[in-house]
Chains A and B, each alone.
Chain A
Amino acid sequence: MNLLSVGLFALYLSSLLAIGAYAWRRSKRTSEDYFVASRSIGPVVLFLSLAATNFSAFTFFGFAGAAYKFGLAYYGIMAFGTGFMALSFYFIGKKVWQLGKKHGYITPPELIGDRFKSDTLRTLFLVVMIVFTLPYLATQAIGGGIAINQLTEGEVSYELGAVVVTVVILLYVTIGGMRADAYTDVLQGALMIVTMLAAVGIVSSGLGGFTNANERLATEWPDLISRPGGGNFFTPQIWISYMVLWIMCDPMFPHLFQRFYAARDEKSIRFSMVMYAPITAILFLCPVLIGAWGRLEFPGLIGKEPDNILPMMVDTFAPAWVLGIMLSGAFAALMSTADSQLLVMSSMLTRDVYKKWLKKDASQKHEFVVGKLLVVVLALLGLGLALTSVETLFETLTKTTFTGLAVLFPTVIAALYWKRATKWGCMASIAAGELTYAGFYYEILGGNLTYGFLPVVPVVLVATAALVLVSLVTSRTTAVKRVASDDVSAS
């Protein structure tokens, strides 16, 4: 175990706690302040917070592993797809911010339930968000446990590592809420960028220089520099599918959705949109390059082994103490996602369950206390999932998070833009979308029905069709009933 490496990592964790304490001193002890920082987050902090929250451990380890398998074309799908997704900051973020400010919304289900005047729809929306976010929270604890285990060369167990990561997140989220969450995101976002750029520099230098590494890759693994990629993985249908997935799924992550409420003004959201293109262009290239270069050093990895290619490459070419700094970057990615997930789930359970069903007259101060308690409960639940690994269900939910949440996209668009949409249409949309996805996932529906696209494309089409059809039918029925009722009243 390299003591300098561990010391630097401990310094990083201490900085997070110090930022949490600073945020706590500025807090107002109300639920609005705790969950959305009194809608006061300015442009730079909002941008880095959105980015750090959006980019999880998968951005580091997953991208590198995928590039190892499929090649550099993975960069296009991730970087351009995510950059383009920022357009949703206009057509979703702006409206969500305006409505949140006007009506005092704090959670995503509040907006949906209020728009359609339906507690059932609000609860359905909540359940989908929680079901697909909780397992994702646990994967961040798992990633943290594995990374600490690697950092200490096995001297700290995976379980203890997961506990350490969870406790640190728990401390600063509990005391500082959204403000601590956003401020730590600034440090974590900066750390991610710096460590990734440094990693590319170190690894390419070890491979004989940046240009040399790329030319060797082109010579030794030509399929990895082609657009179709290794194993001809990328087809135009797959490309379109990923674009659809990012645009429809990312804004449906409750932790991203809630950040729109936290913005100080529209200018902050505008700035975040503009900066998303350069950040994805620069940041995403780094793990993709390192992953593809990994074939030059470790050509025979199979199964899940490529997911470790990034630390393996850094470990090969960097002094031991640098690995600690690099892993801090990975920790920054996973912790900035986990803390936001923890906070948004706590806010939803506080506002959409506790206040809605159990204590309708709860004051903001009361909600603030309940929210903190729920943060603790959820963190322990996530840790419990990570340690016990309730495999089948847990893995299934993790794998299906993105498409499972994308099903909510038509409902949100209808809530914001389509006056004729009804609660029945939205409930039918969510039910039909999730059932169709389950059909594809469990292979009840034939894979040929996707026509080469990922399931997200037919799933969203079904969800949209259900929303439109059922809304048209039920809005007409409602209108007829209203006319009949008016006639009766008139007579």
Chain B
Amino acid sequence: MELLKSKWFWIAAFGLLFVASLDLWAWDWTEPSVFGLPYVIIYIVVLETILFVLFVAFARYYWTGEGDE
């Protein structure tokens, strides 16, 4: 839990997610899969899900309190 209160953890987590969105290792690869949706869509939905989970954890463990400036 201490890790989730570290500024550097969150910079690394969101930074890695941003890098993951580039997806350079599979840039040209595409195949229809679930419901005929291509890889690029499925990949982004997965990233959005991870983003949501990160935001939830960020709001719960890091961005806490109602501090004044």
Q: How far is the CB of B44 from chain A (nearest CB, A)?
A: 4
A80 contacts B51, CB within 8 Å? yes
Chain A interface size, as a band, is 35 or more
A285 contacts B30, CB within 8 Å? no
B41 contacts A72, CB within 8 Å? yes
From residue 101 to 136 of chain A, which have CB atoms closer than 8 A to chain B? 101-102
B68 contacts A98, CB within 8 Å? yes
Cβ–Cβ < 8 Å partners of B68 in chain A? 98, 101-102
B66 contacts A267, CB within 8 Å? yes
B36 contacts A80, CB within 8 Å? no
CA distance A75 to B43 in the complex (A): 11
A87's partner among B14, B40, B49 (CB-CB below 8 A) is: B14
From residue 13 to 46 of chain B, which have CB atoms closer than 8 A to chain A? 14, 17-18, 21-24, 26-30, 32, 35-41, 43-45
Q: How far is the CB of A460 from chain B (nearest CB, A)?
A: 16
A239 contacts B22, CB within 8 Å? yes
A90 contacts B40, CB within 8 Å? no
A79 contacts B27, CB within 8 Å? no
CA distance A440 to B32 in the complex (A): 39
Q: How far is the CB of B19 from chain A (nearest CB, A)?
A: 10
Q: Does A408 reach chain B (CB closer than 8 Å)?
A: no
Q: Does A351 reach chain B (CB closer than 8 Å)?
A: no
A interface: dominant SS: helix
Cβ–Cβ < 8 Å partners of B66 in chain A? 265-267
Which of A12-20, A52-60, A213-221, A251-259 lines the interface with chain B? Answer: A213-221
Of B14, B28, B36, most buried by chain A (CB within 10 Å of CB) is B36
Cβ–Cβ < 8 Å partners of B36 in chain A? 210-215, 217-218
Which of A271-279, A341-349, A377-385, A428-436 lines the interface with chain B? Answer: A271-279
Q: Does B58 reach chain A (CB closer than 8 Å)?
A: yes
CA distance A212 to B32 in the complex (A): 11
From residue 36 to 67 of chain B, which have CB atoms closer than 8 A to chain A? 36-41, 43-45, 47-49, 51-52, 55-56, 58-59, 63, 65-67
Query: Given contacts A84-B51, A226-B28, A227-B27, are A270 and B59 in contact (CB under 8 A)?
Result: yes
Q: How far is the CB of B5 from chain A (nearest CB, A)?
A: 14
B59 contacts A278, CB within 8 Å? no
A277's partner among B37, B52, B63, B65 (CB-CB below 8 A) is: B52
CA distance A239 to B27 in the complex (A): 11
B48 contacts A277, CB within 8 Å? yes
Q: Does A281 reach chain B (CB closer than 8 Å)?
A: yes
**Closest A residue by C-beta to B29:** A227
- Chain B residues with a Cβ closer than 8 Å to the other chain, count: 38
Cβ–Cβ < 8 Å partners of B28 in chain A? 226-228
Q: Does A466 reach chain B (CB closer than 8 Å)?
A: no
CA distance A278 to B49 in the complex (A): 7
Q: Does A76 reach chain B (CB closer than 8 Å)?
A: yes
Q: Does A94 reach chain B (CB closer than 8 Å)?
A: yes
B40 contacts A274, CB within 8 Å? no
Q: How far is the CB of B13 from chain A (nearest CB, A)?
A: 11
CA distance A17 to B63 in the complex (A): 38
CA distance A214 to B33 in the complex (A): 10
Cβ–Cβ < 8 Å partners of B2 in chain A? none
CA distance A210 to B32 in the complex (A): 12
Q: Does A240 reach chain B (CB closer than 8 Å)?
A: yes
Cβ–Cβ < 8 Å partners of B45 in chain A? 281, 285
Cβ–Cβ < 8 Å partners of B56 in chain A? 274
Of B22, B23, B32, B43, most buried by chain A (CB within 10 Å of CB) is B32
CA distance A249 to B27 in the complex (A): 26
A214 contacts B35, CB within 8 Å? yes
**Closest A residue by C-beta to B35:** A211
Query: Given contacts A94-B63, A225-B40, A277-B55, are A210 and B21 in contact (CB under 8 A)?
Result: no
B24's partner among A72, A236, A265, A266 (CB-CB below 8 A) is: A236
Q: Which residues of A contact B (CB under 8 A)?
A: 72-73, 75-76, 79-80, 83-84, 86-87, 90, 94-95, 98-99, 101-102, 210-215, 217-218, 222, 225-228, 236, 239-240, 243, 265-267, 270-271, 273-274, 276-278, 280-281, 285
Enumerate 12 A-B pairs (CB-CB under 8 Å) in ascending A order: A72-B37, A73-B40, A76-B21, A76-B43, A94-B63, A101-B68, A210-B35, A214-B35, A214-B38, A274-B55, A276-B55, A277-B55
Supplied contacts A80-B21, A98-B69, A101-B68, 5 more A-B pairs, CB within 8 Å: A72-B41, A214-B35, A225-B40, A273-B59, A277-B55
